[in-house]
Structure 1
């Protein structure tokens, strides 16, 4: 919602209802004040179960059961599913059965949905007849433009990705018995914590010709926002640092100009807070071992970049509904 207002797209999309179990006072407060991204750009208040954002009045609903949500009363064109509680078509269909016309997942979904979309890469595949789609994950949106660019230019034989991700809400501030993944029971701000990732499966789904060629690792680090992904890829064509950087710099100005950035400044992660791009290649960290093993470093705001990609997907999808 914040991205809609900051981009002045609230004239194209109106948020008419939010299903959130928290009370209205808390919702209004955490909309107005954000520890990472600062004050909301519009006035925010609440009146009973109505959230007032600028001139918009948004109904606040509270249900864990989709069957209790009468979306038909609100003429919902697209329901943005951000709970992360499920990712299957059958559960998403329950929202459609209650009157929502379409569902957009804010995370990777199972294979039987209509499409998994990474904006800037395959959004042109949308034809408007889909009812349930996903905009993949923040890390998938980061890696796909880079991998696709390198594969087309140099040919990728195999590779690994290592995601260094900021702490997330499924981690406790102090050790707590709350997760079956024992590493996630540990304090988010005391340790670097290895976690599972399905990023390699996302690469397989979106670039089928590379299926089975990537393996992925991930860890959480004690920062509140902005993450990084390191790549190591074996390429078919001999190359060097200047050539790799030139390929990626050109992609950031041409084919992937909307979502891919490039820098060689001596930057740190905080310099990309509130950056709306999917990935920013740090050319100062590019390395080539021998002439075929390429190492890369990319930055991305895992919150703001992904929120903007979801809006881009919704906006393009909407252009195909007529």
Structure 2
């Protein structure tokens, strides 16, 4: 399977690193409007995951990484790229700019066979969460949204708790700051996003509820808020759920612990260790339930889950490539 990445931000660059060692795939090209020498520098030195562990250099418009050659382009419009000539099977659309059917189709028009977004995408694009409804994929689908990191975490929580019954759920996501915020106070259409990200706890608007309502019959029963905190990686999901029947801490922890050891073990993990966000850096799971923090008052359940918003999410994108390959 021949892969190209469009958009070399945090997710694109982490995918670059991981795809080089992914069996059954070959990273053949990347595209980003930044100067290529700057891209090579950012690939070589990463503040979160450390320096690139193999030789990495730029030869003309080709990035040479550990002996592997990856073409580098700087097209602002994917339609200007010749994915057909490179035999690209799947484009990982990580720019955040081509998330509509029309936009993502620019890659198809350039010759790619399929497009996998790195976000939820527009309503006309199928929303498929790996481990939940990936079985809906068929050969005729050419653009897929795998949801975002928060959607991948909360989907599995809702699905497992639906076996008991949910009256309502509120998700408060304490999330590391991102490139969509500012490092010093400045203007922004969402005023709070314009405040210095490393200096404050900052509430921001997220579209998590709209995403979850697309795949669960829970319209009007969900609410969500993201609180950006001054750390560079990791997230904690504080879930408050009103259950349809009485539950116990032991019952809930058993449910998630059992799931983590069986069909969900690739996606969901369970711990009762006294951990903090830094302990989950590089964790491949989309959701790690912290059983030590589960609590119940009446029928109100408090559930705490962790995830690495970059590594966990890219792990699901790699899962999608493996799942999609037989349908090519």
* 2:20–2:26 contact (8 Å) kept in structure 1: no
TM-aligned CA deviation for residue 255 of structure 1: 2.9
TM-score normalised per structure 2: 0.92
Is 1:188 aligned to 2:188, yes or no?
A: no
Q: Which residue of 1 aligns with 2:4?
A: none
Structure 1: gaps (5+ residues): none
Q: Which residue of 1 aligns with 2:49?
A: 37
Is 1:243 aligned to 2:255, yes or no?
A: no
**Which residues in structure 2 correspond to 1:19-168 (within 5 Å)?**
19-113=31-125, 115-152=126-163, 154-168=164-178
* 1:243-266 per-position Cα deviation (integer Å, ceiling 9, x unaligned): 111111111112311100111111
Change (3 A) 1:161 1:2: closer
**Which residues in structure 2 correspond to 1:213-228 (within 5 Å)?**
213-228=221-236
Runs of 4+ in 1 over 6 A off after TM superposition: none
Shifted more, 75-84 versus 123-132: the winner is: 123-132
- Kindly tell me the number of residue pairs found equivalent between the two proteins: 316
Change (3 A) 1:8 1:173: closer
Structure 2: gaps (5+ residues): 1-12
TM-aligned CA deviation for residue 42 of structure 1: 2.9
How many Å separate the matches in 2 of 1:65 and 1:253? 44
* 1:5–1:41 contact (8 Å) kept in structure 2: no
Is 1:260 aligned to 2:268, yes or no?
A: yes
TM-aligned CA deviation for residue 6 of structure 1: 4.8
* 1:156–1:235 contact (8 Å) kept in structure 2: yes
RMSD between aligned alpha carbons? 1.5
Q: Which residue of 2 aligns with 1:293?
A: 300
Q: Which residue of 1 aligns with 2:210?
A: 201
